[in-house]
Structure 1
Amino acid sequence: MDEKDIRILKTVASEGITSPDRIQEHTGIPKSTVHYRLDQLRERGVLENDLGDMDLSKLGLDITVISEVYAEFDEGYHTTVGEKLSDIEGVNQVYFTMGDTDFIVVAHVTSRQMVESLIEDYEAIDEIRRTSSRFVITTVKREPYPINDFGTEALVDSVVED
């Protein structure tokens, strides 16, 4: 894996495209090179399908950290703190929640050193009182498209208007 592969993967992820023509437009990498590298990424299992789903472990992003974040309550804090958490490198998902925990944050990183840096970045946010983080040992299910978790009939019954 090199810089071109990373640029191609970032374009696939950010733009939601797997077309060599479109990737070439965004990266400036020749179309033939993009096509060859997409094939190689698929063969190595990094790209799992034509939708752009990626095997994070094959990218070295095999440490998943789930953190509970407790913040100081103030008007609009959920927006302010949520945006600050979202801007931290490695953070993929930020959820403002009800209950004892203010935010659930999911990050994917490459090393324990990155975990330490991630936690330091959380704690550098003035409004954050404390955090509690966990490492994922085994991913039991990773469905990127929640619609796949429902049967067609259940979706029709709950979504389609009569």
Structure 2
Amino acid sequence: MDERNVRILQAVAELGTGSPDEIAEYTDIPKSTVHYRLSKLKEDGVVTNDLLDVDLEQLGLDITVVTEVTAEYDEQYHEEVGEKLADIEGVNQVYFTMGDTDFIVISHLSDRKMVHRLISDYESIDEVVRTSSQFVVETVKNESYPLNDFEFDTLIEAVDDD
């Protein structure tokens, strides 16, 4: 994995496409190089399918941290605090929840130093009262495409109900 591969993968994520033309234009990496590297990333298992999903462990982002965040209640705090959490490097998902926890935040990181920085970044948000973080020991299921979790008939019912 080198800088060009990372730039290509970031372009795929940003653009939402695996088009070598668009990636080449976005990154200033020659189209032939983009095409070759995407093929090699698939062959090496870094890119796991034709939809260009990425195996984060192959990129060294093999520590998954799930954090519960409690924040001070205020009008529209969920939007303001949620955006501040979402802007932290390494944060991949932020959910505003009901109950004892205000937010669930999921991050994929490479080492303890990044985890420490992440927790410090959470604590630097004035409205954050408390955090509780857990490390994922083993991923049992991580479905990138939630439609795969439903039978066809169930999805048709859901659409018909609207």
**Scaled by the length of structure 1, what TM-score is found?**
0.97
State the match for 2:40 in structure 1: 40
Q: For 1:5-154, what aligned pairs fall within 5 Å after superposition?
A: 5-154=5-154
Partner letter of residue 47 of structure 1? V
> 1:11 and 1:149 mapped to 2: Cα distance?
28
The DSSP-based 3-state class of the residue aligned with 2:36 is helix
Contact 1:16/1:51 (8 A) holds in 2: no
> 1:62 and 1:136 mapped to 2: Cα distance?
10
State the match for 2:155 in structure 1: 155
Partner letter of residue 14 of structure 2? S
Cα RMSD, aligned residues only: 1.0
> 1:28 and 1:151 mapped to 2: Cα distance?
43
Kindly state the Cα deviation for residue 15 of structure 1 after the two structures are TM-superposed: 1.2
> 1:77 and 1:161 mapped to 2: Cα distance?
33
Partner letter of residue 150 of structure 2? F
Deviation per CA, 1:42-101: give whole Å up to 9, x if none. Answer: 011010111111100000000000000000011110001000000000000000000000
> 2:54 and 2:102 mapped to 1: Cα distance?
29
Identity of aligned residues (%): 64
> 1:52 and 1:82 mapped to 2: Cα distance?
28
How many residue pairs get aligned? The number is 162
Partner letter of residue 20 of structure 1? P
Following TM superposition, the consecutive aligned residue runs of length 4 or more in structure 1 with deviations greater than 2 angstroms are: none
Q: Structure 1 residues 81-90 or 7-16, which shifts more? A: 7-16
Contact 1:16/1:52 (8 A) holds in 2: no
The DSSP-based 3-state class of the residue aligned with 1:121 is helix
Kindly state the Cα deviation for residue 160 of structure 1 after the two structures are TM-superposed: 2.7
> 1:109 and 1:160 mapped to 2: Cα distance?
41
> 2:49 and 2:16 mapped to 1: Cα distance?
12
> 1:93 and 1:143 mapped to 2: Cα distance?
14
- Gaps of at least 5 residues in structure 2 are none
> 1:61 and 1:6 mapped to 2: Cα distance?
13
